[in-house]
A and B are shown apart, each in its own frame.
Chain A
């Protein structure tokens, strides 16, 4: 007895295949990609009576016609050796449709097991099956299952254990497509058998005979079968001449006819009870007038749910990493290996923390998307939005990912998996980085108040977002009419009946995506943040234009509190006892404590003391910031910025802006903190007033606008590029995307800057 088996799970889209898969494998799943295509591959494993079983979840297809990448994948997987058994899941509420695929799978002559899923719904609908008749017909055992219920797959496990013991003597299907067609199949089958080739000898040659007669693209490509092509053509001509059967669809016709016969014999319907509830919901959901407002409401609720629930968790994660950072710093004294210490804390911990902070967002978002997807609403949303999106060369399913892009491009790109057409999906992914993500907001929030009067601020912000959207839509059209041109794939989408999603499948779905994100955080982001840290740190400057350290020390010595000052402070009660103790030790009031207390609350001698301490503190801070700026200028980042300055001058950037743009590659908001350091304002954020003053002194509103435009259009952050590479399965595409976006951003910003300068637009503050 063998110990391990490979089972392929096949079935129509929406047949409940995934719920069976989840019920059998639980969380032991592996999600990947089929090589070369964007079709997701999923496999899982479980142990049954000591037998190790690998379950391969094939993509949902209606047929084995290889007329879509999914069908192609299924065809390849099933015709390649190594599958011991096919587990065919059938939506038993619509047997006639689901069994269409079964008629093709049965011809493969691989042992098969049929799971009549959703048997509870079928019973409610009044469907009765003559199981033994159907079993004989398809030559395979049948079990009735309820995939979404915990014990609904028990009977399946029983039958599976039995079937795996009898793999050698499985039944033979009794499928007949009518005498004329059967004769043609027999003739081609004999020719294939006569070839005596080994590669596919495992399979019933009849399967290939049928596929060749259907002009199936994948079967016709098999070189070993080329010699029978003339016979196939003869048979097809014969069928057309004698029986007037149209070549490309006659097999489909005959399969339906055959199923109609089988269903009449073995399936009875006691009363017609349609999916009333589902249809009633749809009267509203896809109504001409209500559908759009409802759609926007549902999307809004989805976002609200995601961000409201994730927000506190994000706070916790932020706090945790800040705590971890502080803890490592306090345990690891600055004297031992100071570089490694900074790299671990400010490089690795901050870098990874900065990525992990989005994890709650990702998890909740994909939970919400899973609800929309599993309930069946997503298909309706695509139906409703299709008309608008098509005008831009996209399709209905592109809309949700594009909107998600306003939050963060990374999960948005991951969400494009719901787009079935590979071409549409690629185009959607490629234009997605133009949707202005949340990380770009700090840049706008810094720049806009610095250069634009309040009455223009909202307009400028709106303008930036709109530019992003318009460029994205125009780019989509352009891509669709050039690189991704061609006959649009035939659009065919099932609108499955509304179903209550099961909690298990929602959680699994969420976990899948979360895991992917974590893997990314653990690899590429970690590497990128270390690299960027190195670029921002090395080479280290040792001699400065002025001796900052001794100057700081000098101030510290001069302004240190004497005993009288300490005593005065203690009596005034201006400081908490804890801070007081620290003050006594350092002979200096910590700057954080100074910020909190208001000197005007205290009588004169104390007030003067506080004021002078504050002044000293600020002076020292100023020196420290200047030192940091000099250091950054000396590093690789600074040097690259300097080197790029001649180029970036075309778009109105000096070396500081160029350097900050390099930092923005790690994460867009880094632009602001990088610029803060360069302007000697320390770790500034977008609300930093002094940084804004620097900007106003050094740049014009035109340059400010160019900064935003460049940040909007240019290369997205590394995380986005990494996920583009992942989802498109191509380094080349990701690299091309980066180059194309950079060139486009550079050119358009250059045009805006040069024209603006020429016509003196925005060269002065707009009031």
Chain B
């Protein structure tokens, strides 16, 4: 969320920018390094698109794998339910995960 810019290009002027940062050791999908696997433990209640994420399999308990980061930031490529999905890192920051230790 560099500079508080939101994905719609409104530079966050449209509403108060919302930040989700890593506190107290909570790891989100945005922090997951490429190649690592994890399980979703929770999706932030206020996160936008919760339903949309749920419909593609991003629900608590789902296993996923970080496949790649797009150049110039922004998009992440995550494998969930055997399918590669590109999601924005701002949205990924709302997905709390538990890293698999292996």
By a beta-carbon cutoff of 8 Å, the part of chain A in contact with chain B is 62-63, 65, 67-68, 93-94, 96-97, 100, 214, 246, 248-249, 252-253, 256, 282, 286-289, 291-292, 379, 382-384, 386-388, 390-394, 396, 476-477, 480-481, 485-497
Residues of B within 8 A of A253 (CB): 54, 59-61
Q: Chain A nearest CB: distance from B50 CB in Å?
A: 6
Residues of A within 8 A of B7 (CB): 390, 488, 491
Choose among B11, B15, B59, B85 the residue that contacts A494 (Cβ–Cβ < 8 A): B85
* A to B CB contacts below 8 Å, 26 in the list: A63-B55, A65-B55, A248-B51, A248-B54, A249-B51, A252-B51, A282-B68, A288-B69, A289-B71, A382-B86, A396-B75, A476-B9, A480-B9, A481-B11, A481-B14, A485-B8, A486-B8, A487-B14, A490-B91, A491-B88, A491-B91, A492-B49, A492-B52, A492-B53, A494-B83, A494-B84
The 0/1 profile, CB within 8 Å of A marked 1, for residues 40-57 of chain B is 000101001111111111
CA distance A487 to B8 in the complex (A): 6
A100 adjacent to B74 (CB under 8 Å): no
Residues of A within 8 A of B8 (CB): 393, 480, 485-488
CA distance A63 to B51 in the complex (A): 10
CA distance A477 to B9 in the complex (A): 7
Report if B81 contacts A (CB, 8 A): yes
Residues of A within 8 A of B43 (CB): 249
CA distance A292 to B72 in the complex (A): 10
Q: Chain B nearest CB: distance from A317 CB in Å?
A: 41
Choose among A214, A282, A393, A490 the residue that contacts B48 (Cβ–Cβ < 8 A): A490
A65 adjacent to B52 (CB under 8 Å): yes
The 0/1 profile, CB within 8 Å of A marked 1, for residues 75-102 of chain B is 1010001111111100100000000000
CA distance A401 to B71 in the complex (A): 20
By a beta-carbon cutoff of 8 Å, the part of chain B in contact with chain A is 6-11, 13-15, 43, 45, 48-57, 59-62, 67-75, 77, 81-88, 91
A288 adjacent to B71 (CB under 8 Å): yes
Residues of A within 8 A of B73 (CB): 387
Q: Chain B nearest CB: distance from A378 CB in Å?
A: 12
Which residue on chain B has the smallest CB distance to residue A246?
Answer: B45
Residues of B within 8 A of A495 (CB): 77, 84-86
Residues of A within 8 A of B10 (CB): 393, 480-481, 485
Residues of A within 8 A of B87 (CB): 491-492
CA distance A563 to B30 in the complex (A): 94
Choose among B11, B13, B86 the residue that contacts A492 (Cβ–Cβ < 8 A): B86
Q: Chain B nearest CB: distance from A171 CB in Å?
A: 25
- Across the A-B interface, the 9 shortest Cβ-Cβ residue pairs: A387-B72, A393-B9, A490-B49, A488-B8, A252-B54, A63-B55, A495-B84, A480-B9, A488-B7
Residues of B within 8 A of A487 (CB): 6, 8, 14-15, 48
CA distance A62 to B73 in the complex (A): 26
Q: Chain A nearest CB: distance from B36 CB in Å?
A: 16
A492 adjacent to B56 (CB under 8 Å): yes
Choose among B45, B54, B61, B70 the residue that contacts A286 (Cβ–Cβ < 8 A): B70
CA distance A489 to B48 in the complex (A): 9
Residues of B within 8 A of A93 (CB): 82
CA distance A387 to B70 in the complex (A): 7
Choose among A286, A388, A492 the residue that contacts B68 (Cβ–Cβ < 8 A): A286
Q: Chain B nearest CB: distance from A103 CB in Å?
A: 11
Choose among A249, A382, A496 the residue that contacts B59 (Cβ–Cβ < 8 A): A249
B85 adjacent to A492 (CB under 8 Å): yes
Residues of B within 8 A of A384 (CB): 70-71
CA distance A387 to B13 in the complex (A): 20
Choose among A287, A390, A489 the residue that contacts B9 (Cβ–Cβ < 8 A): A390
Q: Chain B nearest CB: distance from A533 CB in Å?
A: 44
Which residue on chain A has the smallest CB distance to residue B60?
Answer: A253
A493 adjacent to B85 (CB under 8 Å): yes
Q: Chain B nearest CB: distance from A234 CB in Å?
A: 21
Which residue on chain B has the smallest CB distance to residue A256?
Answer: B59
Residues of A within 8 A of B50 (CB): 248-249
CA distance A273 to B11 in the complex (A): 44
